[in-house]
Amino acid sequence: MQLVYGSESSETSIKTGINKTEDTTSKTAPNFTAPLLLQEGSVSLTDFRGKIVYLDFWASWCGPCRKSLPAMQELHTELSKSGFTVVAVNVDEVIQNAKNFAIPLALSYPLVYDGNGNIAKSFDIKAMPMSYVIDKQGKIIHAHKGYRSKDMPLIRQALMEMLKEK
């Protein structure tokens, strides 16, 4: 099966604003350093080099995020030992709303706070929620708009395939 990103899938995948002519996928994810939402300290995207990262943008006011955050916890629990992590970027303006939303969910993956939307801007996200699969080299290989429960098995399968690769 011949599949080249940028041809067949370019129409359906999501483009970033940094280089408008280039597909988001297969391009290096913009790095960021952001404070953790629930703990002290901060993390950078580059801290996860060597791992496959599922980067998800969410907000407390976004309906589908109620479903996507726990669903990603399942992925994280299952795959985090094999070189995978979920990183969730919150874009709430009021940090307390994000905390109130996230704490009861008891999520074990890193949650970072992007209150002024700078990270969201650098990824030029097109919807809420929106997520990206970033490979071990830091390249975006998949952009995912919105959340549908039936996509999760596919995402899981794709991640498993990626993780099997050395």
Partner 1 sequence: MAITKKITPTLAALTASAAAMPGISGFASAASPITEPRISISTSSYQEQAIDGIRTTGTDNADRYDIEVGQFQLVAPMGDNAEIDFRLAKDRMSGASPWFVVEGADGEPVQVMSGATIDDERKDASLEYKHFNDSSAISVILGISSENDYLSHNIGVVVDQELNNNNTTVSVGYSFSDDNITATDSELFFSRPEKENKSVQLLSLNVSHAVNKNLAFQTGLSYEVQKGFLSDPYKLVMVNNIPLADSRPDSRYALIYVANLRQYFPKSTAALKIDYRYYADNWGIDSHTLSLIWHQNLTNNWSVAPMVRYYKQNEADFFANYLVTAENQASIHHSSDYRLSKFDAVSYGLTLTKQIGRMGIELSAEQYESTDSRKPGDSRTSPGLVDFSLVSLSASYEF
Partner 2 sequence: MKRLIFRSFILMVSIAYLASCAEVKPWQKENLAKPEMQFGDQTLSDRIKSHTYFSKESAHGGTGSSSGGCGCN
DSSP state of 51: S
Cβ distance to partner 2 smaller for residue 20 or 81:
20
Cβ distance to partner 2 smaller for residue 22 or 93:
93
Residue 76 interaction partner, one of partner 2, partner 1, none, beta carbon < 5-8 Å per kind = none
129 binds partner 1 (CB under 8 A): yes
The residues, any chain, with a CB within 8 Å of residue 43's CB and separated by 6 or more, are: 33, 34, 36, 87, 110, 112
CB 35, min distance to partner 2, A: 17
CB 50, min distance to partner 1, A: 13
Contact between 13 and 5 under an 8 Å Cβ cutoff? The reply is yes
The residues, any chain, with a CB within 8 Å of residue 40's CB and separated by 6 or more, are: none
User: How many Cβ atoms are within 10 Å of 109's Cβ, its own excluded?
Assistant: 19
Contact between 30 and 124 under an 8 Å Cβ cutoff? The reply is no
Provide the 3-class DSSP secondary structure of residue 101: helix
Q: 77, 88, 62: which is closest to 147 by C-alpha? A: 62
Contact between 117 and 35 under an 8 Å Cβ cutoff? The reply is no
Site string for partner 2, 9-48 (x = CB under 8 A): ----------------------------------------
Site string for partner 1, 9-48 (x = CB under 8 A): x-xxxx----------xx----------------------
Rule CB under 8 A: which residues touch partner 2? 57, 59, 61-62, 91-93, 114, 117, 120-121, 125-128, 130
Rule CB under 8 A: which residues touch partner 1? 1, 3, 5, 8-9, 11-14, 25-26, 62-64, 66-67, 93, 126-130, 133, 135-136, 141-151, 154-155, 157-158, 161-162, 165
